[in-house]
């Protein structure tokens, strides 16, 4: 019997519903458990080598990035990985004929000493293995670099041609303890580690570290393009919450990147995912609040032309809906003002429904509806992506459509993320 015949919503799966809820509400408290569940092998997406890119109209543009935050006082990063090599993936949204790597010590409490670094294409067979030569990464011509606390450093250009959608592996040998570590707890891609300086290794000696990123915050490419789009948000932007998503590139920014890469040469745009699980628009709790990280995570990336802002659900969840709508809209205004002052276009995304989540309240729903109406009608944004309308159940508009619900009532499924990306008008992204 169909749902239309019964008038009832289908039963939801009872399995492990608490895991994604905790990811959204508690944040990094379950990082270690998630790390232990990372599969030994995921779905690898290694693109073939790119052909040379014409030099006409080239500029540096952010092709991949990670929004970083301060580490926990304990956990996998506590010792700073002294005497070990980290090998970490970056899924490039846009190809180019050269790359440039950025390492961050934004939340460090001592200098970050990198003894050596390399970048290479990943091997289609997966894991920590690379395809082709390891390309040394240098800073002002030197193979080692020391990055001061609070700073981020971009490398010299590396002659490595890459295609759209290429996965590269960046290897960094950390010769000294790093203290407090700057990281991205949920990268939804496997990372690896080996003892000693293994930056030149093709993959021998590496073990799966987990699915977090450490220090690696950006990879830029030299290419003709129409710039980059940054997606600013929380776990729904980051691409939470199934272990099946590891190495699968199913987040809405990933799908959006593939749509943009299909445009004619020169008019394509890169996409940088600046989502942080459990992040809020107004409050520093899990990662710096969105209003406070616009400069570092959006405006300081090369070639950024547009930012898509999707946030507010964690502000509503943690307040139980008591947060006034005008406070949340004031946060959006602050983000827009910062972006506009830098000449960056802003697309406002409506807050997705989460009525099936245990933390949902009627008061929060009234606030969400008021905020979404303001996003649609205020004229503050340069364009609007009505992702609420795209993902909601027409028979129960406070809930995600069943096929778009990952199972916790708040995070979309892979199909939901794809629908979100398809709902964003590409014409709204280009100035």
Per-residue model confidence as pLDDT tens digits over 211-260: 999 999 999 999 999 999 999 999 999 999 888 999 999 999 999 999 99
pLDDT of the residue at 80: 67
DSSP of 301-312 = STTEEEEEEE--
Give pLDDT, residue 57.
80
CA atoms of 243 and 1, how far apart (whole Å): 32
Residues 6+ apart with CB under 8 A from 292: 284
CA neighbor of 251 nearest in space, from 269, 274, 268? 274
Which residue has 């073939």 as its token pair?
48
Find, among 426, 98, 130, the residue nearest to 259 by Cα. 426
Strand order in the sheet with 213-214: 69-70, 182-184, 213-214
C-alpha pair distances (Å), 58 with each of 8, 52, 226: 56, 12, 10
In this prediction, residue 75 carries a pLDDT of 56
What pLDDT is recorded for position 119? 98
Strand partners, 153: 103
- What one-character DSSP code corresponds to residue 363? H
According to DSSP, the β-strands at 207-210 and 345-349 are unpaired
Within the chain, which residues score under 70 in pLDDT? 1-56, 72-80
pLDDT at 23: 41
**Residue entry with tokens 């998503």:** 245
Q: How far apart are CA 358 and CA 364, in angstroms?
A: 12
Task: Please state which CATH class domain 15-34+225-428 belongs to.
Answer: alpha beta
Q: What is the pLDDT of residue 76?
A: 55
Task: Say what the pTM is.
Answer: 0.88
Domain boundary assignment for the chain: 15-34+225-428, 45-50+71-219
Considering only CA atoms, which of 167, 164, 163, 105 is closest in space to residue 139?
105
DSSP 93: S
- Report strand pairing: 383-385 vs 345-349: parallel
Strand-pairing partners, residue 193, are: 86, 207
| pLDDT at site 78 | 57
* DSSP reduced 3-state for 420: helix
Residue 276 · residue 287 · CB < 8 Å: yes
DSSP 296: I
């Amino acid at each position: 019997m169909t749902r239309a015949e019964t008038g009832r919503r289908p039963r939801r799966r009872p399995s492990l519903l608490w895991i994604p809820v905790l990811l959204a509400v508690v944040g990094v408290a379950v990082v270690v458990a998630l790390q232990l569940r990372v599969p030994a092998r995921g779905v690898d997406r290694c693109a073939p080598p790119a052909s040379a890119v014409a030099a006409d109209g080239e500029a540096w543009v952010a092709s991949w990035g990670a929004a970083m935050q301060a580490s926990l006082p304990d956990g996998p990063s506590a010792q700073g990985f002294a005497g070990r090599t980290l090998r970490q993936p970056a899924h490039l949204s846009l190809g180019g004929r050269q790359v440039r790597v950025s390492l961050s010590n934004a939340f460090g409490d001592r200098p970050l000493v990198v003894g050596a670094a390399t970048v290479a294409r990943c091997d289609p067979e997966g894991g920590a293995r690379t395809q082709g030569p390891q390309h040394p990464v240098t800073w002002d011509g030197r193979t080692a670099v020391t990055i001061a606390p609070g700073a981020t450093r971009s490398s010299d250009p590396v002659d490595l041609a890459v295609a759209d959608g290429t996965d590269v592996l960046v290897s960094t040998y950390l010769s000294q303890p790093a203290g407090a570590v700057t990281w991205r707890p949920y990268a939804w891609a496997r990372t690896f580690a080996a003892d000693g300086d293994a930056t030149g290794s093709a993959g021998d000696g590496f073990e799966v570290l987990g699915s977090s990123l450490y220090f690696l915050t950006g990879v830029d490419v030299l290419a003709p393009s129409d710039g980059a789009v940054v997606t600013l948000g929380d776990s729904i932007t980051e691409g939470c919450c199934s272990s099946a998503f590891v190495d699968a590139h199913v987040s809405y920014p990933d799908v959006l990147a593939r749509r943009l890469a299909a445009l004619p040469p020169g008019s394509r745009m890169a996409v940088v995912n600046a989502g942080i699980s459990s992040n809020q628009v107004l409050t520093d709790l899990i990662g710096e609040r969105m209003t406070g990280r616009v400069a570092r995570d959006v405006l300081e990336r090369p070639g950024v032309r547009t930012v898509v802002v999707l946030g507010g659900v964690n502000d509503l969840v943690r307040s139980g809906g008591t947060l006034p709508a005008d406070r949340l809209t004031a946060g959006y205004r602050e983000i827009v003002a910062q972006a506009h002052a830098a000449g960056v276009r802003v697309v406002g995304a409506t807050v997705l429904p989460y009525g099936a989540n245990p933390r949902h309240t009627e008061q929060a729903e009234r606030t969400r509806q008021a905020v979404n109406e303001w996003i649609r009608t205020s004229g503050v944004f340069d364009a609007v992506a009505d992702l609420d309308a795209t993902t909601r159940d027409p028979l129960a508009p406070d809930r995600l459509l069943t096929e778009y619900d990952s199972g916790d009532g708040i995070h979309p499924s892979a199909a939901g993320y794809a629908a979100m990306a398809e709902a964003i008008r590409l014409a709204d992204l280009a100035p």
